[in-house]
Amino acid sequence: MEKYRRIGLKLTPQRLAVLQYLEGNTDHPSAEMIYNEVKKKYPMMSFATVYKTIEALKKNGHLLELTIDSERRRYDPETGQHHHLICIRCKRISDIHKSFSIDVPAETQESFDIIGNHIEFYGICPKCKQKGGN
C-alpha cells in the first residue's frame, strides 16, 4: 500500500488490483490478460481503466512496454535490465537475467548516443517441444 502510494497515483481499488496482479508477474501480459485477470476480482473493471492505468505506470517508469509480440503490446513490471526468450510457437516470454557485454561497432558509437540494449532469444519452449510438430 505504502509502496504503491509512493508512485504518486490515487489508489483506487481498480488500480490496486492491477498493481497487485502485476507485482512480481513474469507473464509479460497484454492489456487483455490484465483485464481478464483483474475482472475476476473486480467485475466492474473496464478496459479503459486498464489502458489508462498502464499509461500512468509507463509514465512513472513502473512498467515497460515490450515490443516483442507483433500481435499486441505486452507489458513487463520488471523494469531492471534483463533479456527475453520467446517461444515462437506459443509466444510465451521468459526472462533471462544475465548480462552480456555487447557493443555496437566503433563507427556507430561515434555518431549515436547508445543508451541500452535488449536481446530477444527465439526458441521452442519445453511444452511446445513435447507437443511435437518437429
Partner DNA sequence: GTTACTGCAAAGCTTTTGCATCCCT
Partner DNA sequence: AGGGATGCAAAAGCTTTGCAGTAAC
55 binds a copy of itself (CB under 8 A): no
What is the full DSSP assignment across 43-66? Answer: TT--HHHHHHHHHHHHHTTS-EEE
Residues 64-93: x where in contact with a copy of itself by CB under 8 A, - otherwise, as a string: -x-xxxx--x-----------x-xx-----
Following CA atoms 11, 80, 115, 31 in sequence, which dihedral angle do they give, to the nearest 10 degrees?
-50
Interface pick for a copy of itself out of 5, 6, 52, 129 (rule CB under 8 A): 129
- Cell numbers 516483442 label which residue? 68
User: 34 to 53, contacts with DNA by CB under 7 A?
Assistant: 42, 44-49, 51-53
119 binds, among DNA, a copy of itself, none (CB under 5 to 8 A by kind): a copy of itself
Nine-digit cell string for 15: 488500480
| CA–CA distance, 35 with 30 (Å, rounded to integer) | 9
10 binds DNA (CB under 7 A): yes
Residue 20 vs 79, nearer CB to a copy of itself: 79
| CA–CA distance, 57 with 7 (Å, rounded to integer) | 8
Contact residues for DNA, defined by CB under 7 A = 5, 9-15, 30-32, 42, 44-49, 51-56, 71-73
